[in-house]
């Protein structure tokens, strides 16, 4: 039913004349200004918000912050084409050998669920960057920059038949191999956010040789086996039968109409709707993120993801185990206490690469004690007081609380041999 309604609304908006869409946008803007008091913004802040908000893609966002960038394409072993972005120089700096080594330490950043590489650069403060590094940004199959395969049409169900398993088997290791091939570096530093950490936990656990290529894994708002959602009805329903999502949303991309609503709703209202949704689903109040940053960043928050990958997360939540996708969705009822079948778990205790966790103690998706029990002894965890999930990306104090921790980990591990983390933790 949800899929039918979403498709119907999408078709209606698709054929609406542009003047009608503009009318909806203007009316929502007028309603917002009527219901909320005016708070005059500083001219510089307003320009920064508008520049980020109106940037159409990663390239435009880089231009806002004065960076030149390169685009790369990775062909995974199972035929998906993934977009990679690279920041290797400020605009105007000489880069005599584009597409080659810069001699700088290499850092690879990977986004979370329903996101793309833009979430790292949709900042209203240009000073929040990793200066002195050759920085790469990955993208999952199916999102804005990776919606292509040599085997399947993006409109087909087969194209969207992927879960976290596929990110771990292909997307992460194949992207890392491409980056190392281009840069000629022996190893890189991996910085993941949310599902981007889960993908690395999974990939490093099932590819022993990958640990030699990652000199440190920095996990921001790490995700492994979340307890669940704060909305009890949704949480209970999805945990009891995760595959109900297929009934509601089909077997392709989930919430694909989000970009449509974004185009016709005034940005402050769109940001307010996102805020209300985050409170309802996760009990995140986002007080650490400024209104200006929300308006700018929420426009870049959503990207396409498969329904199957979300089903996978609810399977993990239901079983309270960081496991591979359970294809046996109609498993028989067993009356004995001994299970006849158990999905394979990701062997995360086998990870050899150094691990640094930065987690917020107000993040409802992080159970740090349970997570640490599933990770090797050399894992280091840093608690961020009062931080929720998205705060670690866009919080107003990340330059004080998050970036220094990331830089400290990079300085400690980036220039040393990879894959040897025993008893080696940050001070």
Residue 321's alpha-carbon distances to 19, 164, 203, 313, 373, in angstroms, are: 50, 14, 16, 10, 12
Q: Which two tokens stand for residue 49?
A: 């918000």
The reply to whether 175 belongs to the active site is no
| Calpha distance 253→62 (Å, rounded) | 27
Three-state DSSP state, 65: coil
| Calpha distance 39→291 (Å, rounded) | 11
Distance linking the first and last C-alpha atoms of the chain: 53
| Calpha distance 271→265 (Å, rounded) | 10
The reply to whether 85 belongs to the active site is no
Cβ contacts of 173 within 8 Å, gap of 6 or more: 203, 207, 210
User: Strand 188-193 relative to strand 106-110: parallel, antiparallel, unpaired?
Assistant: parallel
The reply to whether 367 belongs to the active site is no
Catalytic choice (146, 194, 286, 362): 194
Question: φ, ψ for residue 68 (rounded to 5)?
Answer: -90, 150
Radius of gyration of the chain (CA): 21
Cβ contacts of 22 within 8 Å, gap of 6 or more: none
Residue 95 and residue 102 in contact, taking contact as beta carbons nearer than 8 Å: yes
Catalytic choice (171, 363, 391, 401): 363
Of 305, 303, 386, 382, the C-alpha closest to 122 is: 303
Catalytic choice (69, 178, 300, 389): 389
Residue 254's alpha-carbon distances to 217, 310, 340, 366, in angstroms, are: 29, 8, 32, 23
How many CA atoms, within 13 angstroms, populate the side-chain half-sphere of residue 316? 26
Question: φ, ψ for residue 308 (rounded to 5)?
Answer: -60, -35
What is the DSSP code string of 69-81? EEEEEEE-TTSBE
Residue 113 and residue 195 in contact, taking contact as beta carbons nearer than 8 Å: yes
Catalytic center residues: 194, 363, 389
């Amino acid at each position: 039913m949800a899929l039918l309604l979403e498709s119907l609304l999408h078709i209606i908006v698709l054929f609406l004349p542009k003047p009608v869409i503009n009318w909806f946008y203007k009316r929502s803007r007028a309603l917002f200004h009527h219901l909320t008091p005016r708070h005059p913004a500083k001219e510089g802040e307003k320009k920064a918000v508008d520049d980020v908000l109106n940037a159409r893609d990663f390239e435009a966002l880089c231009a806002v912050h004065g960076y030149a960038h390169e685009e790369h394409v990775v062909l995974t072993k199972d035929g998906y084409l993934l977009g990679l972005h690279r920041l290797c120089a400020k605009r105007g700096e000489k880069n005599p050998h584009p597409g080659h080594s810069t001699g700088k330490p290499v850092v690879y950043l990977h986004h979370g669920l329903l996101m793309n590489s833009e979430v790292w650069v949709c900042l209203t403060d240009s000073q929040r960057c990793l200066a002195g590094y050759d920085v790469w940004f990955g993208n999952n199959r199916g999102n804005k920059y990776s919606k292509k395969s040599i085997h399947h049409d993006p409109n087909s169900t087969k194209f969207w038949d992927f879960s976290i398993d596929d990110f771990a088997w292909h997307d992460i290791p194949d992207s890392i191999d491409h980056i190392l091939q281009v840069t000629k570096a022996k190893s890189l530093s991996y910085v993941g956010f949310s599902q981007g950490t889960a993908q690395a936990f999974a990939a490093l656990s099932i590819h022993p040789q990958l640990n030699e290529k990652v000199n440190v894994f920095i996990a921001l708002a790490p995700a492994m086996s979340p307890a669940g959602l704060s909305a009890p009805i949704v949480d209970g329903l999805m945990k009891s039968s995760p595959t109900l999502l297929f009934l509601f949303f089909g077997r392709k991309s989930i919430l694909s109409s989000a970009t449509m609503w974004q185009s016709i709703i005034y940005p402050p209202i769109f940001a307010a709707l996102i805020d209300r949704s985050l409170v309802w689903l996760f009990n995140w109040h986002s007080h650490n993120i400024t209104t200006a940053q929300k308006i700018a960043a929420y426009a870049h928050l959503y990207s396409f993801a498969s329904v199957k990958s979300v089903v996978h997360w609810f399977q993990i939540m239901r079983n309270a185990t960081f496991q591979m996708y359970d294809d046996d969705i109609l498993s028989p009822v067993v009356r004995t206490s001994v299970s006849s079948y158990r999905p394979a778990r990701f062997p995360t205790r086998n990870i050899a690469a150094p691990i640094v966790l930065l987690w917020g103690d107000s993040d409802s998706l992080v159970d740090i004690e349970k997570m640490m029990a599933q990770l090797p002894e050399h894992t280091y965890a840093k608690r961020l007081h009062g931080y929720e999930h998205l705060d670690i990306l866009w919080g107003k104090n990340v330059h004080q609380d998050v970036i220094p921790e990331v830089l400290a980990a990079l300085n400690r591990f980036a220039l040393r041999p990879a894959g040897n983390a025993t008893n080696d933790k940050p001070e």
